[in-house]
Amino acid sequence: MSLKLYNTLTKQKEEFKPLEANQVRIYSCGPTVYSYAHIGNFRAYIFMDTLRRVLKTNGYELKHVMNITDVGHLESDSDEGEDKMEKAAKKENKDPYEIAAFYTDIFFRDMGRLNIEKPEIIAKATEHIEEMLNFVKILVENGYAYETSKAIYFDISKLDKYPILSNRNLDDQIAGARVDVDPEKRNPYDFAVWIKAPENHIMKWESPWGLSYPGWHLECSAMGRKYLGDVFDIHTGGVDHIPTHHENEIAQSKGCTGNIPAKTWMHVEFLQVDGGKMSKSLGNTYTLDQLQERSIEPLAYRLFCYSAHYRTKLNFTFEIANSSQKSLNRLREGYLLHTQSEQKIDENEIKEYRKRFLEAVNDDLNMPLATGIMWEVVRNTKKSKQFAQLLLEFDEILGLDIKNSKEYLEKQVKIELPEEIENLINERKKAREDKNWAESDRIRDILKEKGYQVKDTKDSMTIEKI
C-alpha cells in the first residue's frame, strides 16, 4: 500500500519513498526549554509521533533526530529581543543550564504521559557548538555569510531563490519593516547565524569572532547535518516555522552543501483557543497538568487531537476536551467488551476494516477518518476477541494504550470519587464476589440515587456521574 505525505515544498501530496533502502531519516524541530510546553506544542509532537508510527507500520526503520533548543532562540524569529533562555534565567534567578534541565525533564515526562515515543537521537544545542561553528566557517568561506559588529549574517542575495518554502513577499516585508536593529546588514532580510555576545550574556563560547553564541536557525541545520547527512527524508515542525525558521535552514544548507536539506517538509497547523492562536507570548496556554486538574487525561487530549487533520486548525475548548475524555472511556469499555466474547468473526470483515484503517493513515495521516473506522469496530454489535485484537493493532498507530483499558478505568474510579461513593462501590464489589446479586443491585440503585451510574463488564466495573 502506498504512503502519501503532503510536502510544503512542492505544495502537494506525494508518494513517499525513502532516499535510502528501508531507512527513513527525519529531523523534527524540538522545544525551546525556557518554560512549560503547552498543549499547542504537544499537538506538534503528537503529529510527529503519529508520523513515526505510520512510517513504522509501513515497515520502515527510523533514524529520527529531535533537537532541544537551550540557547540562541531570541524572542522574535527575526533576530530581535533577548535570548529566551537568558530571559527566563534572569526572571527565575537561576542559571540558564538549570532552567534548561528543569524544563527538559518536564517536557519528556509529558511526552511519556502522551505516549509519544522518544526519537532515536535527542540533540541539545549547547552540546553541538563545535559542529555549529564549523557550519558558520563554511558559510563564510563559501561567501554566504559576513561579519558585522553585532553578528555573522547570512547574505540572502547570494541565493538563486529566496524564499522557496513560503509565499512570503519580501518586498512587502521590507516596505513594512521597522528601522532595522543592525544597520550594517547588507539586506534587511539577512539573518544572524552566529551572534556576538553582549557583556552580560551568560551563554557564550570562544570563536574566531570573539565570545558569541549560535543563532537558532543554524542550530537545526548543523545538528541535522551531523546526524542525518546533507540530505535526509523528512523535516517536521509547526506552520510558524515555514516563513522564517525553515526558510532560513534551507538557505543555510544551500550555502553550506548546495542542497535543500530535506526532501519532504511537513508542518502541523496550530491549536487555537477561542478561535485565536494559543501561544506562550499571548498568555493563553494550558499545560497537561492544567487539563488533568479538570479530569482530562493526557491520552484524552491525544484523542482530541485526532478530531482534526494535522493540516487544519483545531480549536480547544474544555467542553470538547471533556467529551474526548468520555469518548476515551467509551473506547476502553468497548474494547473490554470485545475481549470478553468468544464470537467468531469472518476474517474478511477484519481484513476490510484493517485495509480501510491503513488507507486512511497512509493518506497523509488522515486521523479523523482512521478514528471513525476505529469507532465502527468498537461499536460493532457483534462482540469478539478478534475485534479487540484489531483495536490493539490500530493502537500501534493511535498510541492510546488501549491494552491497559481496565487499569485506566479502575484508576479513574479511585481518583475521582467521594469517600461515601468509594465505600459503596467497595461494598458492592464484595457483594458481587459473594455472588449476592440482590445486595449488588440494591447498592447499584443507591449509587444511582446519589447520581452515579454503574456499568458491569465480565471482570470489571465502570462508574460515571449521571
Binding site for Zn ion (CB under 5 A): 29, 220
* The residue to which cell 497537561 is assigned: 288
Which amino acid is present at 344? Answer: K
Q: Which does 238 bind (CB under 5 to 8 A by kind): ligand AMP, Zn ion, none?
A: ligand AMP
CB of 58 to ligand AMP, least distance (A): 24
Q: Is 271 in the site for ligand AMP (CB under 6 A)?
A: yes
Query: For residues 267 and 242, what is the distance between their CA atoms, to the nearest angstrom?
Result: 8
In the complex, what is the shortest distance from the CB of residue 459 to ligand AMP, in angstroms, rounded to a whole number? 40
φ, ψ dihedrals at 395, nearest 5°: -70, -15
CA distance linking residue 234 with residue 232, whole number of Å:
6
Asked whether 350 and 338 are in contact (CB, 8 A), the reply is no
**Farthest-apart Cα atoms in the chain, separation:** 86
- Please tell me whether residue 458 adopts helix, strand or coil conformation: coil
- Considering only the stretches 35-43, 193-201, 321-329, 379-387, report the one whose residues sit in contact with ligand AMP under the rule CB under 6 A: 35-43
Q: Which residues, 6 or more positions from 70, have their beta carbon under 8 angstroms from its beta carbon? A: 32, 33, 85, 96, 97, 100, 104, 124, 125, 126
DSSP designation for 198: P
Query: If contact means CB under 5 to 8 A according to the sort of partner, which of ligand AMP, Zn ion, none does residue 220 touch?
Result: Zn ion
Min dist. Cβ of residue 115 to ligand AMP (A): 18
Is residue 41 within the footprint of ligand AMP (CB under 6 A)?
Answer: yes
Query: Which residue has 526549554 as its cell numbers?
Result: 33
The CB-of-393 to ligand AMP minimum distance in angstroms stands at 28
Residue 183, φ and ψ in degrees, nearest 5: -65, -10
- Residue 360 near which of ligand AMP, Zn ion, none (CB within 5-8 Å, type-dependent): none
| Residue in 166, 279, 322, 380 binding ligand AMP, rule: CB under 6 A | 279
Residue nearest to ligand AMP (CB): 238
What is the footprint of ligand AMP within residues 5-34 (CB under 6 A)?
29, 31-32
The one-letter amino acid code at 379 reads R
Q: Decide if residue 278 touches ligand AMP (CB under 6 A).
A: yes
Question: Would you count residue 119 as binding ligand AMP (CB under 6 A)?
Answer: no
Three-state DSSP state, 461:
strand
> Which sign does the torsion angle of CA 230, 235, 239, 240 carry?
negative
C-alpha separations of 190 from 129, 158, 213 in Å: 22, 10, 17
Pick what 398 binds: Zn ion, ligand AMP, none; C-beta below 5 to 8 Å, kind-dependent.
none
- Binder among 6, 8, 25, 43 for ligand AMP (CB under 6 A): 43
User: What minimum distance in Å lies between the beta carbon of 96 and ligand AMP?
Assistant: 15
Count the residues of the shown chain that bind ligand AMP, applying the rule CB under 6 A. Answer: 17
* Whole-angstrom distance, CA of residue 16 vs CA of residue 10: 13
Print the binding letters for residues 224-263 with ligand AMP: x by CB under 6 A, - otherwise. Answer: -------------xx-xx----------------------
3-state secondary structure of 58: coil
List residues binding ligand AMP (CB under 6 A): 29, 31-32, 40-41, 43-44, 237-238, 240-241, 268, 270-271, 277-279
